[in-house]
């Protein structure tokens, strides 16, 4: 599709590989923006394998 999709896929892969404690830390330092509620949860529920 485009650069945005490539970036999303790269982020999804990267975030999926983090250990849970690092995911938690990332979520604390980079909260989901308004309108993106549940984004990190979707990645956790559907990790890139």
DSSP string, 19-39: -HHHHHHHHHHSPPPTT-TTH
Residue positions counted in the chain: 49
How many separate domains does the chain show? 1
pTM of whole model > 0.85?
yes
What is the token pair recorded at 14?
């990267």
Q: Where do we find the tokens 């999709």?
A: 5
Instruction: List CB contacts of 29: < 8 A, sequence separation 6 or more.
Output: none
pLDDT tens-digit readout, 22-32: 999 999 999 99
- What domain range is 19 assigned to? 3-31+38-45
pLDDT tens-digit readout, 1-21: 678 999 999 999 999 999 999
Q: Where do we find the tokens 């983090």?
A: 18
């Amino acid at each position: 599709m485009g650069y945005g999709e490539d970036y999303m896929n790269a982020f999804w892969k990267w975030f999926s590989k983090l250990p849970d404690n690092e995911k938690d830390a990332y979520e604390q330092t980079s909260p989901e923006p308004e309108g993106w509620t549940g984004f990190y949860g979707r990645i956790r529920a559907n990790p890139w394998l």
